[in-house]
Amino acid sequence: MLRIAVLVSGGGTNLQALINAQNNGVLKSGRIVQVISSRGDAYALTRAEEAGIVSCVCTTESRVLDELKKCNAELVVLAGYMHILSPEFLKECALPIVNVHPSLIPSFCGKGFYGLKVHEAVLKSGVKVTGATVHMVNEIPDGGEILAQKAVAVEDGDTPETLQRRVMECCEWVILPRAVEALCAKLSHRVFVKPMRYPGRGIITGTTPSGRKMFAYFIMGRSASSRARVFERSGDDLIIKMTGQVADTSLILYAPVRVCGASVIVTNGDQTDTVYDSLKNGGTFESALRTREYEPDSPHYTPRISAILTPSGYTQSILKRAGKFFFEYAYTSGKGHLIHTYDHDVMRDDILPSFMGEPREVAIPEDMNTFADSLWNELDEDNKVSLYVRYYDGDSYSDKLYNKGE
């Protein structure tokens, strides 16, 4: 279920349409986790409060970006947001953004067409049909991909106010929730909601719709040494081998997967061995990782991410400078969780930001090849190195391995 942030500036009638859709089950593949207003007197804030949704006021784009990151938003909806987002914001945000515009794009749209101005222009032109459009947001005002449109008649005697009301009631409030739901459902089947050039290393653990356990592990690389690696099977374990000469392999050469009895350990470093040794000596996943910390690769201080699958469930962990965090899950049919080392693509500097928040819930399909091929294709072509996917059938399993360097 996608985490939605809604940006508003005024009364919030479109926000209310989304809230209603969420309450009545029309919007079921996403949920509104944050409302951000550009004005402190916007009635939309009252609507958010009455619905129990966290809200705040942000008067600058940098503040909006901060709030989107804090709430771990995965989709942004502009619902009467009276500001054109800058190209810099769109690049930094990198999230899918949806807007509803009160006309049938490409008519009466673009810079200067907003609010009553749109309906005034419609009436002045003499057209007999108008409507609303839901579209993706890009650097061109009202220029993104069209997701949905609905038309309504322009009636004799209409004023800008009466036409605005008809367009809202008959078009905007109808197509916005439906379009957001359709987009959420589509994005929910992707591992990464927003394309990422460099998520680093990642672990997915979960269960297929029929209840089969599974996991996936991928690595990426920006340097020649990081890219000079391949995955190789070693019995039930997985190891990394170098394809070239590298001076220091301490942080790039390790066993990502080790099996210990009924438990499967998956990590992004040599903490795999720490957990394995702990389990063999009667310890636990958590106690083992509490003896370790993030990687000493200043200035990034890459987090150590780890997971363990047991007969009763799975736990994921991240060790980073901000602390040591553990996330425990029961097996749930068709669902899994993704955790990766870096939070978002670097825009302003070269320091890679650590993963933030809880692991993201992802949909796990029944067919391993479908999932594996889709994930491999999602990973950035320039930076992906290797991917390993394993699906269990009781005590046996099927797996698939990808090495870009082969």
Query: Which residues are catalytically annotated?
Result: 101
Residues 6+ apart with CB under 8 A from 69: 343, 344, 356
CB 75 within 8 A of CB 4: yes
The helix or strand, by DSSP H or E, that contains position 90, with its residue range, turns out to be helix 87-93
Rounded CA separation 242/237 (Å): 17
Q: At what angle do helices 116-125 and 160-167 cross, to 10 degrees?
A: 110
Residue in this structure with the two tokens 């550009």, named with its chain if needed: 38
Compute CA distances 290 → 283, 287, 303, 357, whole Å. 11, 5, 13, 19
Task: Spell out the residues 6+ positions from residue 120 whose beta carbon is closer than 8 angstroms to its own.
Answer: 160
Are the C-beta atoms of 37 and 8 separated by less than 8 Å? yes
Residue 159, classed as helix, strand or coil, is: coil
Look-up of token digits 């669902």:
335
**Contact call for residues 40 and 56 (beta carbons, < 8 A):** no
How does DSSP assign 308-350, residue by residue? Answer: EE-SSEEEEEEEETTEEEEEEEE--TTEEEEEESBSS--SSSS
- Residue 191: DSSP 8-state: S
Q: What angle do CA 369, 370, 372 make, to 5 degrees?
A: 60
Q: How far apart are the first and last CA of the chain?
A: 36
Planar angle of CA 4, 95, 143, nearest 5 degrees: 105
The three-state secondary structure class of 210 is coil
